Structure 1
């Protein structure tokens, strides 16, 4: 079972749901794909057992062969190559690593070299196997690091994918291939607005989904009305609770101090399994 946890914006409680659910289950692997700002490890405090770099391949120009024909620059849809006045410039940060420039160069003047853009860490905490990525500071492209995190996915475990916030390419890469997606929202106008965008994306990906309402009790009922009108199941409500907030601000997953919530997350996972298979 591959379950992704997503949200239309940051701060809704996506990581809270992912971490507390992982701690409530057995035989589970948690993938933190929010590689620009991973924080599952801050709550779990795992023992890191493996760290390895993530590389992408970018153009390497042989100036002795290059005749500045500019066919590489014309081909590149992302303007990662610029040719003018017998000069060629490479902008590796915006290269999408397709390798097309090496193919279209008539003089075979372009090869590829490795460029480090981040790293992946693996560890264990409280029976949970955690894998998370860290995009290097200043790097704009999270997707290659997310792909490397997902390559560590194990077939013999239930997998929870904690995706980045929003609805851009990193989110699509994170949730793609999931059996089910839980969208975490809050009952506020901002929460509803971003939930609608997230629903549109998940529907286009044809992934079955449901909603978890975090901080239930604040705001209004419009999120619930929207879900009812669109036949979206509300799978769980997490109340607006000072106790939960205090534990979170101390870096403590609340199921560790409020064990009655373990059963609720187990029931949530069972409901997800039924819906994904039905």
Structure 2
């Protein structure tokens, strides 16, 4: 049976757990890879990769526009809209773009054909390269209500090698959109009681969606680790342990990719990727020579 390169999603129950740390380092130790930053509200992956030859593309969605000369205030579109994005003031139709879901249904039900569509920019995506890694990242415009269109365009872009998706934090619809086509989900957890709460949240999500998954324990120290205990109780594979290491913290805080700077860290993240590769069936991951 033929094999193909895998798509791995890295997620966590909150920000600051180490999701981007893991994603950028795994992408760096892969032989050939694509890194996609789907945290469109606070993207930061490009701070580490510093991509060259970047290309910026607009992301647009369709929004309704009314021709007031044709609209007779019949109320059909207002009755149809499940999101209350349309309202009639007297006989004047008001359109609230912020809550419009761009379904296009209002145009279909308008008997006067008074509604059409226009493009509205909701964000941008940047495409570049950092050594053997292709980088993609999206940024949502301030004031927009949803980054889903940006994530869809990011995930629909051409990729190379193993794809690593740096998901938004939490378990919102943005996260669901980011992981829906992933072959494997890596959950990042901190060694605290609060960390277990956040781990349980994303664990519930990936099990609900039927995704293959494993956990990477970050900031590991000697002594009790509640997140490790949770994994043992639930029978979750622990794909690796990242130590609470001063040098690693310094490199990461200076926007440097640890696996590119230190052989020990390269071996650490390569071993995590090897473990994931062993869990995948017909999908593969290729690791650069250590």
TM-score (norm. length: structure 2)? 0.92
Distance across 1 between alignment mates of 2:16 and 2:67: 47
Structure 1 gap ranges (5+): none
> What's 2:248 paired with?
244
Number of corresponding residues: 277
Which 4+ stretches in 1 moved above 3 angstroms? none
Tell me how far 1:151 sits from its aligned partner: 1.0
> What's 1:221 paired with?
225
Any idea what SS the aligned residue of 1:48 has?
strand
> What's 2:98 paired with?
93
Conservation of the 8 A alpha-carbon contact between 1:3 and 1:180: yes
Describe the shift of the 1:218–1:116 C-alpha distance in structure 2 as closer, same or farther (beyond 3 A).
farther
Structure 2 gap ranges (5+): 1-5, 283-290
Once the two structures are overlaid, the 10-residue window that deviates more, 192-201 or 72-81, is: 72-81
Distance across 2 between alignment mates of 1:62 and 1:144: 26
> What's 1:137 paired with?
142
Q: Please point out which of 218, 235, 238 is paired with 1:234.
A: 238
Conservation of the 8 A alpha-carbon contact between 1:68 and 1:84: no
| 2:203 equivalent to 1:190 | no
RMSD: 1.5
Provide Cα deviations, 1:222-276, integer angstroms capped at 9, x if missing partner: 2111111111111111111111111111111111222122222222222212212
> What's 2:9 paired with?
4
Map 1:128-167 to 2 at 5 A: 128-154=133-159, 156-167=160-171
Map 1:173-188 to 2 at 5 A: 173-188=177-192
> What's 2:213 paired with?
209
Once the two structures are overlaid, the 10-residue window that deviates more, 77-86 or 141-150, is: 77-86
TM-score (norm. length: structure 1)? 0.95
